[in-house]
Amino acid sequence: MGKQNYLKLLGLLIVIAGLPLLIRGDYYLSILVFMGINGLVVMGLSLLMGYAGQISMGQAAFYGIGAYCTGVLTTHFGLSIYTAFFFGIFLSIVVAILVGIPALRLKGHYLAVATLGIGEIVFIVFNEWMSLTGGPSGLSNIPVVHLGNFQFANSLRFYYLVWGINLLALFFSLNIIHSRVGRALRSMHGSETAASAMGVNLSFLKIQVFILSAVFASIAGSLYAHFVSFISPNNFGLMVSIMFLMMGVIGGIHNIWGALFGASLLTFLPEYLRVFDQYDILVYGAILLLILLFMPEGFLEGVPALYRKLFKRKKS
Amino acid sequence: MSEALLKIQNLKKAFGGLLAIVDFSVLVEAGQIKSVIGPNGAGKTTLFNLITGVHPVSAGKIFFQGKDITRLRPHQIAARGISRTFQTIELFGNMNVLENVMVGCHTRFRSGMLASGLRLPNMRRDETRIYQNSIKLLQMAGLASKAEMPATSLPLGEQKTLEILRALASEPRLLLLDEPAAGLNESETDRMSELIYAIRDQGITILLVEHDMRLVMKISDEIAVVNYGQKIAEGHPEVVQNDPQVIEAYLGGDIEYA
């Protein structure tokens, strides 16, 4: 990983550490927490889609598996949060392998539809397995995360927990991107024929990155469940999968920083648009449309490109 | 006499009802530059795709260094030491020139996803070696100054060279070149033949598919001619050139007047 990325990472670390000094109030802090949680999912999605070129429209399934796993195990079975947490990761890995082996043989639209189906199946399980998940009425009283006697009870503490994990995941991802494995992922996106001729084991690598994205989503789901202490199937439906996808695309899914940025942007944007009352969805839709029209590469790469374009026009 | 580096025995390939390779056998000795020529659609590229495992073989066997590689998958064959270029350039357009060559080093290193994500010491050592190897290759071909450019922004000749460098990065025993001179002008073709000689001098065996007869006749140690998926002639360039069957395949048969 180049020096530049370390500097960016350090910069982000400082911003995150200092942000609570400027922002007061539980409401704003909780938005920052959701940014971190969504960012984690979308980073995984960026590795899978932006780098490896494999689409997933069912990422909310793994998000939900993480959430329901810790939720159910801590409330119904009284397991410790850590056991439940790792069980969630384990289960999402198992599901990713079972689903990934057949699904990742598909390409493009077919893979999109297959993962859409997976998301829907998991959603139905959450809805119908009443005895465990509570069905549509949801699961409540999920306990607070603690480290020994230290309770992550308020938003500020949880903010640091979520973004701590988020930064570790970002560090891990950046290391992968700037490595032999990361180049193999991107080569697969560039040309599968050439990648395999250079010795890249396509099917193995696809499963690996699919698992990684599932683990990121599962961790995010667990954090979400313990933060809001109440979950219901609607938090993990198709619209949520599409929202994650949208966050990635808007921010720039080919760049992990873009993915993180997109997740943050689309987390706070709807909150800010409340000033438009009932028209907020309309304005939200229009903003997304404009970004996609003028910056198909996403925000992070689109803004400098747009700036250059405008600047050049003035010059000539 | 030692065994041939690559031995192809009675190879057959059918795409549905179409027999692309009918019954093809050939030997490639270590250290040679061997060419496969033939009219368009004769099955030359199919032959490459069978050797590298892109398509499954219908019948017959392929041996590399005495070992059967017929049923192996492409990445396994690459790991055994066979690398290739493509007729239609298959560079990674989403990566820069240097990174393309670095992907070529893939088979020679082991560090996986976990080691990479955690930046373990062995991964960092691998990265340094991959970088140095790749830069050295770029310098050899005079492309080092373009290392950071997007691979597909290079002119055609340099893209072809880059594909060869990427293949060389895996340190293959056998290099398959699929029409390296197609679309190149004369001076570019001359440079290409020098590059091919340089590769041969490193001890890498070359199997070449090419339409540029001037190049083929100049650099080949041996030539195999295929037509309709069958070998119709084989031997030294001069022998093949004067073979009546070869002339017929290229120029068409005598026209018989009534």
Residues of B within 8 A of A179 (CB-CB) are 111, 116, 123, 127
Contact at CB, A179 and B116, closer than 8 angstroms: yes
Interchain CB distance below 8 Å, A199 and B78: yes
A-chain residues near B102 (CB < 8 A)? 180, 183
Q: Which chain B positions have a beta carbon within 8 Å of A183's beta carbon?
A: 95, 99, 102-103, 106
Inter-chain residue contact B116 with A175, CB threshold 8 Å: yes
Question: Per the CB < 8 Å rule, is A194 touching B118?
Answer: no
Residue B1: pLDDT band (50, 70, 90) is: very low
pLDDT of residue B257: 57
Q: Say what the pLDDT of residue A152 is.
A: 79
Which pLDDT score, from 0 to 100, does residue A316 have?
47
Provide the shortest C-alpha distance from residue B1 to chain A (in Å).
31
Q: Which residue has the higher pLDDT, B1 or A190?
A: A190
CB proximity list for A134: less than 8 A, separation 6 or greater: A140, A232
CA distance A201 to chain B (A): 6
Per-residue pLDDT of chain A (316 residues; tens, 9 = 90+): 567 888 899 999 999 888 888 887 888 899 999 999 999 999 999 999 999 999 999 999 999 999 999 999 998 898 888 899 999 999 999 999 999 999 988 888 888 899 999 999 999 999 999 888 888 888 888 888 877 777 777 888 889 999 999 999 999 999 999 999 999 999 999 999 999 999 999 999 999 999 999 999 999 999 999 999 899 999 999 999 999 999 999 999 999 999 999 999 999 888 888 888 788 888 888 888 888 888 888 888 888 888 887 887 655 4
Instruction: Calculate how close chain A gets to B125, using CA atoms only, in Å.
Output: 11
Cβ contact A88:A218 at 8 Å: yes
Chain A partners of B150 at a C-beta cutoff of 8 Å? none
List chain B residues with CB under 8 Å of A172. 117-118
Predicted confidence band of residue B254 (pLDDT cuts 50, 70, 90):
low
Element (H, E) at B15: strand B6-15
For B4, residues 6+ apart whose C-beta sits below 8 A from its C-beta are B27, B28, B29, B30
Q: Kindly identify which residue of chain A lies nearest to residue B79, measuring between CA atoms.
A: A199
Nearest to A224 by CA among A25, A47, A14, A71: A71
Residue B146, pLDDT score: 94
Three-class SS string for B141-171?
CCCHHHCCCEHHHCCHHHHHHHHHHHHHCCC
Nearest Cα residue to A58 out of A121, A16, A130? A121
How many angstroms separate the Cα of B104 from the Cα of each of A46, A208, B79? 24, 20, 11
List CB contacts (< 8 A) between B111 and chain A.
179-181
B178 sits in which H/E element = strand B174-178
Task: State the average pLDDT for chain B.
Answer: 91
How would you classify the pairing of strands B174-178 and A146-147? unpaired
Compute the C-alpha angle B219/B225/B231, nearest 5°: 145
Interface contact A194-B92, CB threshold 8 A: yes
CA dist B19 and B21 (Å) reads: 6
Residue B97 has pLDDT above 70, yes or no: yes
Q: Is pLDDT above 60 for B258?
A: no
Q: A-side interface with B, Cβ within 8 Å?
A: 1, 172-173, 175-176, 178-184, 186-187, 189-191, 193-202, 208-209, 212, 254
Q: How many CB pairs under 8 A join A and B?
A: 105
Q: What is the pLDDT of residue B32?
A: 93
pLDDT at B2 over 70: no
What is the ipTM metric for this complex? 0.90
Which tokens in the block code for residue B252? 């068409």
**What pLDDT is recorded for position A145?**
82
Mutation target vs A (from B94, B99, B132, B148; most A CBs, 10 A cutoff): B94
